[in-house]
Amino acid sequence: MELHWLTIHQLKQMLREKKVSSLELTQALIHRIGRIDDQIHAYVTVTEEDALQQAKRADEMIAKGEHPSELLGIPLAIKDILCTRGARTTCGSKILADYIPSYDATVIQKLKAEEAVFLGKTNMDEFAMGSSTENSYFGPTQNPWALDRVPGGSSGGSAAAVAAGECIGALGSDTGGSIRQPASFCGIVGLKPTYGRVSRYGLVAFASSLDQVGPLTRDVEDCAILMNAVCGYDPHDSTSVKFKVPDLRKALVRDLTGMKIGIPKEYFIEGIAPDVEKAIESSIELLQKWGARCREISLPHTDYALAAYYIICTAEASSNLARYDGVRYGHRAAGYRGIVDMYRKTRTEGFGPEVKRRIMLGTYALSAGYYEAYYRKAAQVRTLVKQDFDHAFKETDVILTPTSPTPAFRIGEKTEDPLQMYLMDVFTIPVNMAGIPGISVPCGFSRQGLPVGLQFLGRHFDEETIIRAAYTFEQNTDFHLRKPPID
């Protein structure tokens, strides 16, 4: 198989055995990006020169017999929401189109310490607000499985880059589904860690009580490797937790015997595509055959999670995005009269329509007299959603749901109707509200040949069990081995 289709764990072996050098590998990927990315638009910025330098350094270390990590010399892509020192970080927005951070996000520092190679920054919905990557100032990303379809979002560029063979693995961020939903649309693996597991220092803030950084990879083993590299307490992020980080590779066990899997009845709603329902049902049958004990459970407040999320995330966003004032960061409008006019013009020009919609909704929800009716109510609903999960996990080890109600939809299909777009995250949002971990793995294809994903959810800080469930499922199936028809 060509180099660009291999996994981190395969390449690690080949690099150590000197069957390939990191430079050859990096050049192959840069060549691939040059050849196909005008069809996919996964990247906003390709950092070719830096990548080649990093690859050369990795090769020197290999030549000296130094192997500090599993990611040594492995080319990765980074969602353009993570600050990268010296490389522009746009967050998919005009307002940050020329912003060059003076520091690296903690997760980037960690990957640098592992001597990974950085190919560039990937496209995303502006400020991670969206489910299709169509809300990017830099234009949409195409799904490698069908170029007229979206890759999902908001980490659509990272998901498409992994799926199209334009990087070996990638990082994304997930506030309401932005890692798992694009992973399912693109036929790859995506994990949202427990809130507090991964540092958010240097992650451009959208909704701070929900945001988490996580990996997008070709298989579950690679997911464990990337997770191992980025997890852990960080004094720069007061929400990161000082729990011992387990070696997630140890969770790569192909065994489900006795595992209790709960299937929430509230997730099989009207509007779920028949192809998705079919793929999930046959997955449940397979899991049972391999020794899992599946049974129906109830998460009674599921219905209210989506509405509460759109109050909480817009409220937090309206406050977080106040910092883009034309003074401290990025774009400043020309030809203003006085400071208020400067703010107004800068923000009018700098933000796209979805970001403006959210700032307005959030400002409204937080304003005097409405706070109790909206924000406080939403916070109360959030507690109920979390309690649903706490209750369910008393009798079940993992929860299984579809990742998204439909496979990838057509570009332009939902842009006129924000509510339809918001519904794409109906199965992923409650997970962020509760702060628990979730992983999406490929579980089938629609009749049109589009990937379908299933989601395993776990208890707080129990990434191990969902990785074990996902690994067993993957190793007994071959959905993750199929490649999109792009060349």
Using CB under 6 A as the criterion, which residues of the chain lie in contact with ligand GLN when the complex forms?
128-131, 154, 174-178, 206, 313, 425
Closer to ligand GLN by Cβ: residue 165 or 176: 176
Closer to ligand GLN by Cβ: residue 230 or 421: 421
Tell me the closest approach of the beta carbon of residue 118 to ligand GLN, in angstroms.
22
Residue type, 395: E
Residue 296: CB atoms within 10 Å: 9
Q: Six-digit token pair at 401?
A: 């749901």
Tell me the closest approach of the beta carbon of residue 189 to ligand GLN, in angstroms.
17
Q: Are 390 and 439 in contact (CB under 8 A)?
A: no
Catalytic residue among 12, 22, 69, 79: 79
Tell me the closest approach of the beta carbon of residue 31 to ligand GLN, in angstroms.
31
Tell me the closest approach of the beta carbon of residue 358 to ligand GLN, in angstroms.
8
Nearby residues of 152 by Cβ (< 8 Å), 6 or more positions away = 131, 132, 133, 143, 159, 181, 182, 183, 184, 185, 186, 404, 408, 424
DSSP string, 263-323: EEGGGS-TT--HHHHHHHHHHHHHHHHTT-EEEEE--TTHHHHHHHHHHHHHHHHHHHGGG
154 annotated active-site: yes
Closer to ligand GLN by Cβ: residue 58 or 162: 162
Catalytic residue among 93, 136, 154, 240: 154
- Give the whole-angstrom CA distance, residue 111 versus residue 106: 9
79 annotated active-site: yes
Nearby residues of 14 by Cβ (< 8 Å), 6 or more positions away = 6, 20
Tell me the closest approach of the beta carbon of residue 453 to ligand GLN, in angstroms.
15
Closer to ligand GLN by Cβ: residue 128 or 163: 128
Closer to ligand GLN by Cβ: residue 104 or 425: 425
DSSP string, 379-397: HHHHHHHHHHHHHHTTT-S
Residue closest to 314 by CA, chosen among 220, 393, 418? 418
Closer to ligand GLN by Cβ: residue 6 or 83: 83
Residue 191: CB atoms within 10 Å: 31
Catalytic residue among 178, 240, 404, 446: 178
Q: Which phi and psi angles does 264 have, rounded to 5°?
A: -70, 125
Tell me the closest approach of the beta carbon of residue 178 to ligand GLN, in angstroms.
3
Catalytically annotated residues: 79, 154, 178
